[in-house]
Amino acid sequence: MSEISIQREDFDPGAEIAALQDGSGAAGAIATFIGIVRGDGGLSAMTLDHYPGMCESEIAVHAEEARKRWPILGLRIVHRTGELVPGDRIVFVGVASAHRQAAFQAAEFLMDYLKTRAPFWKLERRGAQANWVEARSEDDESVKRWQQPR
Amino acid sequence: MKLLYFAWVRQKIGISEEQIDMPAGVTTVATLVQFLRDRGPGYAEAFRNPALIRVAVNQQHTDFNAVVRPGDEIAFFPPVTGG
């Protein structure tokens, strides 16, 4: 299984986690994040537009950077595109490492960069209205913490 | 050069991609945007406020000062909102 998948189909979180658990006992921790479409504000559907090719390469750059920063034993990112409805899964990030701090931190790092750099765009539908989601400045702030000298 | 448009940039222009010959006088993303704005009302609307637009050249994030060359793949889009 490749590390990064951009796909229309849903994913199976249990199978993704099981695949990160390699059975050798080296990984003492697996941290995961699953993003789900929220139905707030009367949201009826969400369409995810993306830039094929650049999504994969941009995420790969940050996966490589995460591997330089933390001792990662396994890494998996799945991001869906196309039509989604409230309750649908959008994204999976899973990181396996020897200890929990590295797994938690790498998963957060990957999500922060995914949200601010990977070329995806959300179109929200509420009844007859369709609006492109605007980028949040909080997401830009979240990513800054990884740019401080360590 | 190949031009790609995403999200509301695509909607305003009305197409997702096009192939154009390198226009005379175009050397950077900024000068390309100047050229594109005059291509029609949809382009003028999409590029009305360039501060809202992000650009990638050959699938790498960059800015409006970036140099463009024949054969480049140049994508215009709003700030990303995935995850």
Percent over 90 (pLDDT), chain B: 100
**A26 vs chain B: nearest CA distance in angstroms?**
29
Helix A137-144 × helix A100-117 angle, to 10°: 140
Q: Positive or negative CA dihedral for A30, A31, A35, A39?
A: positive
Interchain CB distance below 8 Å, A54 and B75: yes
Interchain CB distance below 8 Å, B56 and A51: yes
**A29 vs chain B: nearest CA distance in angstroms?**
23
Question: Is the pLDDT assigned to residue B24 strictly greater than 90?
Answer: yes
All domains of chain B, ordered by start, with CATH? 2-74 (3.10.20.30)
- Segments of chain A scoring below 50 in pLDDT: none
Average pLDDT of B1-16? Answer: 98
Cβ atoms A30, A94 nearer than 8 A: yes
All domains of chain A, ordered by start, with CATH? 4-144 (3.90.1170.40)
What value, to the nearest 5°, has the Cα angle with vertex B36 and ends A51 and B61? 35
Query: Cβ–Cβ contacts within 10 Å for residue A119, how many?
Result: 26
Average pLDDT of B72-83? Answer: 97
Q: How far is CA B23 from CA A31, B1, B29, B35, B50, in A?
A: 50, 10, 12, 8, 19
Q: Nearest chain A Cα to B82, which residue?
A: A120
Q: Positive or negative CA dihedral for A55, A56, A57, A59?
A: positive
Round the average pLDDT of chain B to a whole number and report it.
Answer: 97
ipTM: 0.95
Average pLDDT of B24-29? Answer: 96
